[in-house]
Amino acid sequence: MEFYSSPFLLKQKNMPSLNLDILVVPTYNTLTLGVIDASTYPTTPPSVTSPTIEITPPGFNVAIIPFDVNNFNIFTSENLGISSTGANQPLPDGVYHLKYSIAPAYANFIEKSIMRTDQIQERFDDAFMRLDMMECDSAIRTQSKVELNSIYFFIQGAIAAANNCAIVNSNKLYKQADRALTNFMRNNCGCSGNNYINNFNIIK
């Protein structure tokens, strides 16, 4: 007896399974949040119902927004409910909670938390450029670079902690970076010669 497998059955057997995933992609713009659909779907093009993303910015209520499947989605303060229509403003730094789902949403969803650092990174870049342009004593310049490296370490630590759901530690590391960077810039980026911070408060 011979068995025959139709091309249709073989195609069904080799069809990819549903695997939802999203990636937050840097836009290098304090006004926007970029999220790309990194999911795999059983069909091409995807045939899904009610693709939705829920985004909770720090200090604000959740925004529920239709999600453009298999595409790069851009969000602003307007569609995140942070500002009114026509009043686009920089998105706050902090931990953002994201949930992407398709119907039935109770069974098909993916959740992630990320630490947004665009505003503090912009301040860090400004401090770095100011230090590079200033004519400082070489010893003071070296001390200032050590301090900037420490601030950068705190920023990256905050990002890594949020990626691993350590939200409390992420917020602590961000506050540490923010406080150190504020002091650094207030003191003319270290070029006064007497304002180098010798010790950082280690997070407990």
Give the residue-averaged pLDDT of 55-75: 97
According to DSSP, the residues that pair with 63 across neighbouring strands are 55
Nearest to 34 by CA among 84, 81, 79: 79
According to DSSP, the residues that pair with 73 across neighbouring strands are 35
The 10s digit of each residue's pLDDT in 18-56 is: 999 999 999 999 999 999 999 999 999 899 999 999 999
> At 197, is the pLDDT very low, low, confident or very high (cuts 50, 70, 90)?
very low
Residue 175: its pLDDT value, please?
97
Entry pTM? 0.81
Residue 147, CA distances (Å) to 32, 55, 166, 179, 186 in order? 29, 34, 25, 12, 14
Residue 86: its pLDDT value, please?
84
Buried (b) or exposed (e) across 50-61, using 16+ Cβ within 10 A?
Answer: ebbbbbbbeeee
Residue 131: its pLDDT value, please?
74
Residue 72: its pLDDT value, please?
97
In angstroms, the CA 10 to CA 141 distance is 66
CA dihedral of residues 176, 182, 183, 184 (deg, nearest 10):
100
More confident residue, 195 or 159: 159
Mean of the per-residue pLDDT values of the chain: 86
Residue 94, CA distances (Å) to 12, 16, 121, 181 in order? 44, 36, 12, 16
> At 190, is the pLDDT very low, low, confident or very high (cuts 50, 70, 90)?
low
